[in-house]
Amino acid sequence: MVQDRNQKFGIETAGSMMSDDFITLPMRDTVDQTIDYLRKTLYQREDIHYIYVLNDDKLLVGVIAIRELLAAKGEATLQEIMKTKVKTLSPDIDQEQVAQLFQETELVTIPVVDYSQHLLGVVHMDQMLDVMEQEGTEDIYRMASIKSDDFDSQNILTATIGLLYRKRVAWLIILVFMNIFSGAGIATFEELIESNVALVFFLPLLVDSGGNAGAQSATLVIRAMALGEVRMKDWFKMISKEILVSGLLGFTMALAVSLIGIYRGGPEIAFVVALTMVGVVMIGSLIGLSLPFIFSKLKMDPATASGPLITSICDIVGVFIYFGIASAFITLG
C-alpha cells in the first residue's frame, strides 16, 4: 500500500504518508444521528478528532470537531454546524510543507484531497512528529556538509567507520580545493606580507570573523525559511536590513580590533585592520544571507548553504579584502 502511494504521489509527500483512519458523514445527518453513529464505530479507533462532511456528490464541504458536535443541539444538521473553511493538503505536497502547515494551524489532523475535493485520506499530527525530527536531522547534517542518506536506520554509535568516512569525505575534499584560493590570495601579496609581517597576525582573526558573521546570518535565514517566516520575495528586504545590522556589528568589532592593531603594528596597521573588519563582516553577512535564497531558488535545500561552505567562501573573500585594503593604504603610505 505504502509503495503504491509512493509511486503515485512521490516519496515524502502528503499522499505517501496519509492514513485512511477518518470518518465522513453526509451533511443532512443530524447531530443525534452522528453521535449514535460514533458510539457504534469509535470503539478501539484512534486519532479521530474531526467529522468530515460530504455533499451529495461525495465531495468534502465541511468539518466538525467532535467537541463542537457534542455541544450542538441534537436536531441540528451537520450542514448547519459545520465549518466550511477547511484546511486541506494536496497529495503531492512535500512533507516538510505539511509539517509547516501543522505548525501554522495547530490542527491535529488535516485532510488530503484531490483537485475536485474528493477526500483521499488524512495526515495526523503524530505522524508529523517523526517527520519533523527527520527533517531537522537532515538539516543539521547538511549544515555540517554531511550526507545523511544512509543514517535513517543507524545512529553515529552503530554506524560503521566506512559509512562515517563516506558521508564526510566528499564535501571536505571539495572544500580543500576551494581553500586553495585562499592560499593563492596570500601568495599574490607575498611582497606586502614580507615588508609588513604584522599583517599576518590579524589574518586568522579577520577571515574567521567574516565566516562567523556569515554562518550566523545563514542560520537565522534558514530557520526563518523553515518556519515559513521568510520567502523568496523577501530577499531584497532582508538584504537592506542586513546591511544596517552587519554594518553596526562590523564597526563595533573594528573598534575592538583597532586597539590591538595599534599595539601590534601602529596606527597604519590599526586602520587597515579596522577597515577590513567592517568589510569582511558586512560581506560575510550578505553572503550568509544570500546563499540560502540562491539554493532555494535552485530547488536545493537551503541548509546546504550553511556551515563549512559559507566559512570557506568567506575565508577566500576575506583574504582578498584584507590584503587588497592593506596594499592600497600601506603601499601608498
* DSSP secondary structure code for residue 13 in this structure: B
Least confident segment among 11-15, 54-58, 67-71, 152-156: 152-156
Residue 299 lies in a domain: yes
Residue 281 lies in a domain: yes
Are 123 and 264 within one domain? no
Is the CB of residue 305 less than 8 Å from the CB of residue 219?
no
Name the pairing type of β-strands 109-113 and 119-124.
Answer: antiparallel
C-alpha span between 31 and 81 (Å, rounded): 9
Closest by CA to 213, choosing from 304, 144, 123, 313, is: 313
Are 74 and 30 within one domain? yes
C-alpha span between 79 and 61 (Å, rounded): 9
Backbone angles phi, psi at 157, to 5 degrees: -75, -40
C-alpha span between 268 and 196 (Å, rounded): 11
Backbone angles phi, psi at 50, to 5 degrees: -135, 155
Mean pLDDT of the chain: 83
Residue 239 lies in a domain: yes
Residue 207 lies in a domain: yes
DSSP string of 257-288, one letter each residue: HHHHHHHHH-HHHHHHHHHHHHHHHHHHHHHH
3-class DSSP state for residue 29?
A: coil
Number of domains, the chain? 2
Each residue's pLDDT tens digit, 122-150: 998 877 776 666 666 666 656 555 555 55
The pLDDT of residue 137 is 62
Domain limits for position 272? 162-329
Is the CB of residue 287 less than 8 Å from the CB of residue 313?
yes
Longest dimension (CA), the chain: 94
Domain with residue 116: its CATH number is: 3.10.580.10
Are 20 and 167 within one domain? no
* DSSP secondary structure code for residue 24 in this structure: E
The pLDDT of residue 279 is 94
Beta bridge partners of 109: 124
C-alpha span between 188 and 274 (Å, rounded): 22
User: Is it the case that residue 251 has pLDDT exceeding 90?
Assistant: yes
Cell of 79: 450542514
Are 184 and 293 within one domain? yes
Are 300 and 187 within one domain? yes
Domain with residue 178: its CATH number is: 1.10.357.20
Are 102 and 180 within one domain? no
The pLDDT of residue 332 is 44
The pLDDT of residue 99 is 80
Residue 144 lies in a domain: no
Are 185 and 113 within one domain? no
Least confident segment among 5-14, 81-90, 188-197, 215-224: 5-14
Residue 150 lies in a domain: no
Are 236 and 300 within one domain? yes
C-alpha span between 331 and 313 (Å, rounded): 27
Global pTM reads 0.61
Residue 6 lies in a domain: yes
Is the CB of residue 256 less than 8 Å from the CB of residue 317?
no
Average pLDDT of the residues in 234-252: 92
Are 85 and 198 within one domain? no
Each residue's pLDDT tens digit, 164-222: 787 777 777 877 887 788 888 788 888 888 888 888 888 888 989 998 998 888 888 88
Average pLDDT of the residues in 25-50: 89
User: Is it the case that residue 3 has pLDDT exceeding 60?
Assistant: no
The letter for the amino acid at 254 is A
User: Is it the case that residue 35 has pLDDT exceeding 90?
Assistant: yes
User: Is it the case that residue 333 has pLDDT exceeding 50?
Assistant: no
Are 112 and 181 within one domain? no
Are 121 and 198 within one domain? no
C-alpha span between 227 and 80 (Å, rounded): 35
Backbone angles phi, psi at 151, to 5 degrees: -90, 0
User: Is it the case that residue 59 has pLDDT exceeding 50?
Assistant: yes
Are 17 and 118 within one domain? yes
